[in-house]
Amino acid sequence: MGDKDSFTGDTGELKMDTRRVLVQLLLGPSVDARRQSKLWPVLVQDEKALRSRLHELFLDLVIDHEQKVAFTRQVVSDQLDVPILLRKAPLTFIESALLLFLRQKLTQADAQGERAVVSVQEMQEHLSVFEKADNSDRARFERQTVNAVEKAKTLSLLRKLGRNEERYEVAPTLKLLFSAEEIQGLMRTYESLAEAQPSEGGEDSGLPDEPPVNDDGAAGGDLETV
């Protein structure tokens, strides 16, 4: 990939190809060697310059050279009052339950040296365990599960395999977003909720009565986006 002429009045110092990588990192959710084969070698070659530019925006560059995927993460500092550029994308309980399931699929696939592939039916069957036994609004619960799959696709965490819309590859980026320790702790919580008996009273949403709540008061977790 060769550089092109700069635009009129351009005072930038980075090469044009490096700027394209920087923009993609800021747009998110990641730079992936398989999907962006021309950008990846530029990222690897100019990692130091890219990391420096991102640090000027209080962002850090996270790179997994084995999986060949990179993304930005908000810098957290106890010494500085860091302005927040990345905003949190809140996840509902059922959305975060799906992402944890997909993260597990990645772990299993890695152990077998395979790509993590999942079908829509598998995702729906997994999420069905979180429906209350006495749910009176099944249509609403089904909408929630469909929306959870769509959210994962919107976040580029699911990639359609060819023309087959029923099977997807789980993006390696998800492996970097959730550590093994976080997965184990969260899965214990979700498993206990799935096994719990539904309580009486209150509005019936089809979900367990007491899902995890984050600091913003939203059930589930959250992801960083620009």
pLDDT category at 30 given cuts 50, 70, 90 is: confident
Torsion of CA 104, 106, 109, 114, to 10 degrees: 170
Locate 132 and state its tokens. 């209350």
What is the phi/psi pair of residue 89, to 5°?
Answer: -100, 100
157-177, pLDDT tens digit by residue? 888 887 766 889 998 878 776
Q: Which of 53-67, 81-95, 130-144 ranks highest by mean pLDDT?
A: 53-67
Task: Go through the chain and tell me how many residues it has.
Answer: 226
Confidence band of 17 (pLDDT split at 50, 70, 90): very high
pLDDT, one tens digit per residue, over 91-124 is 788 888 898 889 889 888 888 888 899 999 999 9
The per-residue pLDDT for 213 is 34
The CA–CA distances, whole Å, from 202 to 114, 198, 210 equal 44, 11, 11
Residues in contact with 124: Cβ distance below 8 Å, sequence separation at least 6, in sequence order: 145, 149
DSSP 136: S
Name the CA radius of gyration of the chain, rounded.
Answer: 20
| Bigger pLDDT: 136 vs 167 | 167
Q: Taking the domains of the chain in order of start, what are their residue ranges?
A: 16-85, 89-225
The CA distance from 16 to 29, in Å, is: 21
Burial class (CB in 10 A: 0-12, 13-18, 19+), 76: exposed
Asked if residue 21 has pLDDT above 90, the reply is yes
User: pLDDT digit string (tens) for 38-50?
Assistant: 999 999 999 999 9
Query: Cis omega before residue 29 (within 30°)?
Result: yes
Whether the CB-CB separation of 156 and 226 falls below 8 Å is answered with no
pLDDT given at position 210: 37
| DSSP alpha helix (H) spans, the chain | 16-27, 40-45, 47-55, 93-111, 120-128, 138-154, 173-177, 180-195
CATH number for domain 89-225, candidates 1.10.10, 1.25.40, 1.10.3470, 1.10.530: 1.10.10
